[in-house]
């Protein structure tokens, strides 16, 4: 039995709790309100919470591939029988390291014989509190692996030869609980030598009482005070660095319950000191008047007070992993492209997402076009075979995609 049938993530628990609360209220207020809420917001919840009717790992292993990729690419199962794999990073020798929040583990997945499949699953760290974010810092032949749990950031000494962690040092306490429980990391190499920590909001939409929520914080790599890096970010679950510009990019999820098409999810270029608008603004600095009625001080959602999104994504797509294409293994027309995984909607009448897309960017980083790269997880019967999460792109033309519903990691590779 996979983790998708034995574990519900925080979002699913909140949804179920909301349904129960509404159902109890409906006893006194009448069932119409319950039906109305379900009809407007939860008709498309099936793919997110229903177990898949088929095992996608078995389908792919038997060459009944249910996923569609561009011509010239193929897909295989790199690792399976995992819990909820999320963040993927590579160690100095190219070994895949993954976080598995539902099992409280950090895993190493070596492929020593180079056959495109993990030889074994090595538990590097166990019994952690929802580990999610991972980041390597390797300087002077010494490597640390930073791990973000729901309530803390720590680093371990990492031995790339033995694939072992040792000497855990906690460098920061983080706020825990709330609607969003993932904590993500990004290492800014020297001269910065800092760790960015992304912390989602405590709610769907609200004015946070804790300034560390709905923000990205910064901490020196050796430890020290957490300081503000960027704010107004409802839930930036994944971040990456554009190798062409060294800018930090992040995927942010918009609020729920404004309908199928509002607000857009976002890709932002994250700069220190900027406010990206949540909870009063979304997308291209659009005022969220359903929540914020305050206009008497100034017109809200104006540059330079709030920063608009860089790229808008269809509402409720739930963007997660980001990866830029670099290296000689990728064809020239892929150079500098951005891949983004869409985890998929839960409160949209017609489900959306459940795919990996490719953004073709101009030299200045603006979007030229967007196209589907991998589709097929979303099924016509209201279920999903999987939900893509973290991405890891290698310079030799391989793309690894984690799937926290199917409990697998896919390997996508060029065939010509």
Where along the chain do its domains lie?
A: 3-414
Q: What is the pTM of this model?
A: 0.92
Query: Which residue spans within 176-245 are E strands per DSSP?
Result: 183-188, 194-199, 215-220, 227-231, 236-241
More confident residue, 31 or 399: 399
Q: What is the pLDDT of residues 137-172, one digit of tens each?
A: 999 989 999 999 999 999 999 999 999 999 999 999
Res 6: pLDDT: 40
Q: Which residue has the tokens 């070994």?
A: 95
- Whole-number Å distance between alpha carbons of 173 and 219: 11
**Model confidence over 8-39: pLDDT tens digits?**
454 555 555 555 544 444 444 456 566 666 65
Listed in sequence order, the residues at least 6 apart from 314 whose beta carbon sits closer than 8 Å to its beta carbon are 261, 264, 265, 352, 353
The confidence band for 301, taking pLDDT boundaries of 50, 70 and 90, is: very high
274-288, pLDDT tens digit by residue? 999 999 999 999 999
The chain-wide mean pLDDT, for the chain, equals: 92
Instruction: Tell me how crowded residue 13 is: count the other CB atoms within 10 A of its CB.
Output: 12
Beta strands in 242-315 (DSSP E): 248-252, 265-270, 281-282, 286-287, 311-313
| CATH class for the region spanning 3-414 | mainly beta
Question: How much is the pLDDT for 7?
Answer: 42
Is the pLDDT score of 393 beyond 80? yes
Q: Is 162 left (phi over 0), alpha (psi -120 to 50) or beta?
A: alpha
**Span 73-122, pLDDT tens digits:** 999 999 999 999 999 999 999 999 999 999 999 999 999 999 999 999 99
- What is the helix, strand, coil percentage profile of the chain, to 5? 10, 35, 50
pLDDT, tens only, 325-382: 999 999 999 999 999 999 999 999 999 999 999 999 999 999 999 999 999 999 999 8
pLDDT given for residue 299 in this prediction: 79
């Amino acid at each position: 039995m996979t983790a998708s049938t034995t574990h519900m993530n925080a979002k699913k628990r909140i949804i179920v709790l909301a349904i129960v609360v509404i159902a109890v209220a409906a006893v006194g207020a009448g069932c119409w309100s319950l039906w109305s809420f379900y009809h407007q917001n939860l008709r498309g919840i099936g793919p997110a919470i229903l177990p898949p009717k088929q095992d996608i790992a078995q389908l792919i292993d038997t060459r009944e591939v249910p996923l569609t990729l561009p011509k010239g690419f193929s897909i295989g199962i790199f690792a399976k029988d995992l819990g909820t794999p999320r963040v993927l990073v590579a160690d100095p020798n190219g070994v895949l390291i993954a976080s598995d929040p539902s099992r409280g583990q950090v895993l190493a997945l070596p492929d020593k014989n180079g056959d495109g499949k993990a030889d074994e699953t090595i538990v590097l760290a166990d019994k952690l509190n929802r580990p999610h974010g991972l980041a390597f810092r390797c300087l002077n032949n010494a490597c640390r692996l930073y791990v973000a749990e729901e309530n803390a950031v720590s680093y371990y000494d990492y031995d790339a030869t033995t694939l072992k962690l040792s000497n855990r040092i906690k460098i920061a306490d983080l706020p825990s609980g709330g609607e969003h429980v993932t904590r993500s990391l990004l290492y800014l190499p020297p001269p910065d030598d800092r760790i960015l920590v992304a912390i989602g909001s405590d709610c769907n939409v609200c004015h946070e009482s804790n300034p560390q929520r709905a923000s990205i914080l910064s901490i020196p790599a050796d430890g020290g005070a957490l300081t503000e890096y960027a704010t107004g970010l409802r839930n930036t679950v994944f971040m990456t660095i554009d190798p062409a510009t060294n800018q930090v990019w992040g995927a942010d999820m918009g609020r729920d319950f404004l309908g199928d098409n509002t607000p857009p999810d976002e890709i932002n270029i994250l700069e220190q000191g900027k406010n990206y608008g949540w909870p009063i603004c979304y997308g291209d600095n659009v005022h969220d008047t359903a929540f914020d009625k305050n206009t008497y001080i100034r017109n809200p959602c104006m540059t330079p007070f709030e920063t608009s999104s860089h790229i808008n994504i269809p509402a409720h797509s739930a963007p997660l992993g980001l990866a830029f294409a670099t290296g000689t293994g990728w064809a020239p027309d892929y150079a500098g492209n951005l891949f983004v995984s869409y985890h998929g909607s839960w409160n949209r009448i017609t489900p959306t997402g459940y795919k990996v897309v490719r953004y073709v960017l101009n030299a200045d980083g603006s979007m030229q076009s967007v196209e589907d790269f991998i589709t097929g997880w979303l099924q016509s019967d209201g279920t999903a075979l999987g939900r893509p999460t973290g991405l890891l792109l290698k310079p030799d033309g391989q793309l690894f995609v984690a799937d926290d519903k199917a409990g697998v990691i896919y390997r996508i590779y060029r065939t010509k």
